[in-house]
Amino acid sequence: MKGRYQRVNKSEDLPYECASVASGRSCSVEVDFAISALVFLVDVCCIDPGCDHCIMNIRKEIKFYFIFLVFLQIPFLYGQDSIVKNIEYDIISINSFRNSFVNQGLLIEKPDSIQRSRNEVGTLTDLFVQNGLFFIKSYGCGNLATTSIRGASASQTPLLWNGLNLQSPTNGTVDLSLVPAILCDVITIQNGGGSAGWGSGAIGGLIQANNVELFNAGLKLKYIGTLGSFGEAQNGIKISSGNSKCYADVRVYLQQSKNNFTFRNLGIANFPLDTLENSTFNQKGAQAQVGWRTKNGRHSFVLRAWYQKTDREIPPSMLEINNLARQQDEFFRSMGSWKINYSKISMELKSAVLTEFMDFYQSVNLPNSLTHAVSFINSVDCRIPISKSLITNFGIVANSSRADVTQYVPVTIQNRVSAFTAFQFIPNEKLNFVLNFRAEEVQAKLLPLVGSVAGEWKGNKFLMFKTSLSRNYRIPTFNDLYWRPGGNANLKPEDSWNADGSVVVNIEKNHFLINYFFTAYFRQTKNWIQWRPTVGNSTIWSPENLLEVWSKGLEHHLKADWYFNKLKINLNLAYNYVRARNEKSKDINDLSVGKQLVYVPTHYSYGMIQFTYRNFYLSYAHQFNGLRFTASDHSTYLPAYDLATVTIGKRVDYKIYYFDVFFRTVNLFNEEYQAMSWRPMPGRYFQIGLTINCNKPNTKNK
């Protein structure tokens, strides 16, 4: 990829556009690592024919904006796939500068463009499960699905939407089935603690789902639809329009599925074939965003609003009789952000209101359980370059949450304020250090200070070493604190130390690209909250700071691309080894001490190979989920299982349109498995998808 472009020494006021935009065409861009004297070189190159300028010296002004891209392993996200001519968005102005400070030293993963384009509709559950990014604890199609990064619990990995934590204040989890993939322009997964940077909850890892700014994106229309077995229909429409001053973007989606698949019921004699009942899934929603900026680009604003309603029937397990349970989740999330950008100081002021409502119906004799929560979040985030090699970032976040669960949690208000600061020190082109601190006060009570120290060292042209040490925490949820009966208002936050070390290898030649990274980590979490029957009253359960969990593991990830004339081969291999054990108990008879936690597989691996020839593509993905114990003393377990997925498709370009059709077989070998005990999972099933895309670039002169 180097040497294909003509370097242009052209200085721009606005670092956000490809040079060709100035001539009035929106440009497809490729981002390329250029390793030379200045470490943080990123080439943003336009690849449309006749549009072959590189904004090379833009990097001087923008290098700090790009720091996070460096550590995001750009090559295997953008450096491939020359067939994808139009990247959907202006990738440069993606995110807050917080990322450059908090992602240091940790490995950041992103589903690449191939993975994203195969799962543009559906939910994050579909995206993560089919692209094998990490082990997901899923109760089945459309049902509750939560992350389990490095053996952490569901509430120890926040999901941030444009910097806002979507974890519910009541139970602290994010249900991945309630986050539609169509809204997430850029998804980043951070393995390892991030509380110093992002606050409570980031013990196991952190997922970010962000929207990008669409200045100068032109007019884009996109329809994505899939039809699948068991009555699955997913539809999404994206319409956006952007010029140099402002942009607007609307997305509407509707996804549903009957999930009435057949399975062998292993709970009944002779294992008869049974059909899953009470299992429909219905989700609809819309997101709108409007952004604008001043002529000189010093001030930019964005407003976003997102509404969604999901109705789910909850199917019984193979041994359960109740087939009436259902749940409705509804929320409205809105935010506004003002970014101020001067060379001496940059700031982002953000304000958000997140509301959610959940109605859970179990049976005709029990009252519905209704959950309401509202959070008001206001933050100020400031970045000041102090000198050529030292940058500081600091800010404050204020969060006021009000929640209740009818009959169980009375209306309660919780106020939190946290202040954070970070320093990034770049002594030379090979080294980079970041120090992060955060202090949080919850209900006027100061929590222990957390922080992280991280460093990166560029060994040579193709080798980089990263390391990070951090202290992270998670505050108890409303349910933990205020549930009646049993809530424990004296709970302490979970407290964790995390150490990571990684090696990144990046080799790039004319016809192939290899990225390999290897991480070893170690984590200790104390005061891990668990619900147990209270001492002296076994009928009432109460949470306590009970466990002390030691985890350690290894992660390997290899991505490789080869180009031969018109044939392209992409390879993606990953392997995670996780040991997570409880080391403490107060009961002398407890046999769980020193044993792997339940539902945490020791081995997990994923492999995908994709062939692209002209505009046809064929991919095969294979996922191995290791054995998981289901009792804390390892007296029962669920066996390991494999899932294979094959996709074939074709892309057709026609003027400003392109069409993409694919056909997919999921669970190719019809494997019978259980992800959670006694929860039926579908055998082989099929999907067919169509994407219609229309891009009309911005034709106005800047």
Angle at Cα 380 formed by Cα 245 and Cα 187, nearest 5°?
65
Closest CB to another protein among 223 and 462? 462
Closest CB to another protein among 38 and 627? 627
Is residue 387 near another protein by the rule CB under 8 A? no
Site string for another protein, 669-698 (x = CB under 8 A): --------xx--------------------
Q: Report, in Å, the least distance between residue 342 CB and another protein.
A: 41
DSSP 88: S
User: Under DSSP, is residue 111 helix (H, G, I), strand (E, B) or coil?
Assistant: coil
Closest CB to another protein among 256 and 585? 585
Q: Report, in Å, the least distance between residue 139 CB and another protein.
A: 10
- Binding residues among 164-223 for another protein as defined by CB under 8 A: none
Is residue 363 near another protein by the rule CB under 8 A? yes
Residue among 34, 266, 390, 419 that touches another protein (CB under 8 A): 266
Q: Report, in Å, the least distance between residue 356 CB and another protein.
A: 24
Residue among 320, 614, 616, 699 that touches another protein (CB under 8 A): 320
| C-alpha pair distances (Å), 24 with each of 20, 221, 293, 466 | 7, 19, 18, 41
What residue spans of 521-560 are helical by DSSP H?
A: none
Q: Report, in Å, the least distance between residue 5 CB and another protein.
A: 25
What residue spans of 443-502 are helical by DSSP H?
A: 478-482
Q: Report, in Å, the least distance between residue 248 CB and another protein.
A: 45
Closest CB to another protein among 271 and 616? 271
| Contacts (Cβ under 8 Å, ≥6 apart) of 490 | none
Q: What is the DSSP string of 642-689?
A: EEEEEEEEEEEEETTEEEEEEEEEESTT-----SSTT-----SEEEEE
Rounded CA-CA distance 439/310 in Å is 36
Is residue 406 near another protein by the rule CB under 8 A? no
Is residue 630 near another protein by the rule CB under 8 A? yes
Q: Are 147 and 557 in contact (CB under 8 A)?
A: no
Q: Report, in Å, the least distance between residue 505 CB and another protein.
A: 7
What distance lies between CA 151 and its chain's CA centroid?
17
Rounded CA-CA distance 567/230 in Å is 35
Is residue 268 near another protein by the rule CB under 8 A? yes
Is residue 449 near another protein by the rule CB under 8 A? no
Find the part of the chain contacting another protein (CB under 8 A) among 185-193, 332-340, 374-382, 455-463: 455-463
Is residue 344 near another protein by the rule CB under 8 A? no
DSSP 54: E
Q: State residue 156 phi and psi, 5-degree precision.
A: -105, 15
Does 485 sit behind a cis peptide bond, omega within 30 degrees of 0 on the bond before it?
A: yes
- Binding residues among 545-584 for another protein as defined by CB under 8 A: 554, 577, 579
Is residue 368 near another protein by the rule CB under 8 A? no
- Binding residues among 521-540 for another protein as defined by CB under 8 A: 530, 532-533, 535-540
| Contacts (Cβ under 8 Å, ≥6 apart) of 586 | 546
Rounded CA-CA distance 341/325 in Å is 51
Q: Are 281 and 234 in contact (CB under 8 A)?
A: no
Q: Report, in Å, the least distance between residue 149 CB and another protein.
A: 19
Is residue 278 near another protein by the rule CB under 8 A? no
Is residue 153 near another protein by the rule CB under 8 A? no
Residue among 10, 457, 485, 564 that touches another protein (CB under 8 A): 485
Is residue 520 near another protein by the rule CB under 8 A? yes
Q: Report, in Å, the least distance between residue 629 CB and another protein.
A: 7
Rounded CA-CA distance 235/177 in Å is 15
Q: Report, in Å, the least distance between residue 224 CB and another protein.
A: 35
Cα atoms in the Cβ-side hemisphere of radius 13 Å centred on 275? 7
Q: Are 68 and 99 in contact (CB under 8 A)?
A: yes
Q: State residue 480 phi and psi, 5-degree precision.
A: -65, -40
Residue among 365, 387, 490, 701 that touches another protein (CB under 8 A): 365
Q: Report, in Å, the least distance between residue 561 CB and another protein.
A: 21
Q: Report, in Å, the least distance between residue 319 CB and another protein.
A: 4
**Total residues at interface with another protein (CB under 8 A):** 61
Closest CB to another protein among 369 and 415? 369
- Binding residues among 288-317 for another protein as defined by CB under 8 A: 317
Is residue 490 near another protein by the rule CB under 8 A? no
Handedness of CA 488, 489, 490, 495 (dihedral sign): positive
Strands 6-8 and 53-55: parallel
Q: Report, in Å, the least distance between residue 501 CB and another protein.
A: 9
Find the part of the chain contacting another protein (CB under 8 A) among 177-185, 229-237, 438-446, 633-641: 633-641
Is residue 411 near another protein by the rule CB under 8 A? no
Residue type at position 468? S
User: Under DSSP, is residue 233 helix (H, G, I), strand (E, B) or coil?
Assistant: strand
Strands 42-46 and 409-425: unpaired
User: Under DSSP, is residue 512 helix (H, G, I), strand (E, B) or coil?
Assistant: strand
Identify the H or E element spanning 63. Answer: helix 58-71
Residue among 4, 8, 616, 633 that touches another protein (CB under 8 A): 633
Q: State residue 149 phi and psi, 5-degree precision.
A: -80, 125
Binding site for another protein (CB under 8 A): 266-269, 317-322, 363, 365-366, 459-463, 484-486, 503, 505, 518, 520, 530, 532-533, 535-540, 554, 577, 579, 585-592, 595-596, 598, 602, 627, 629-637, 677-678
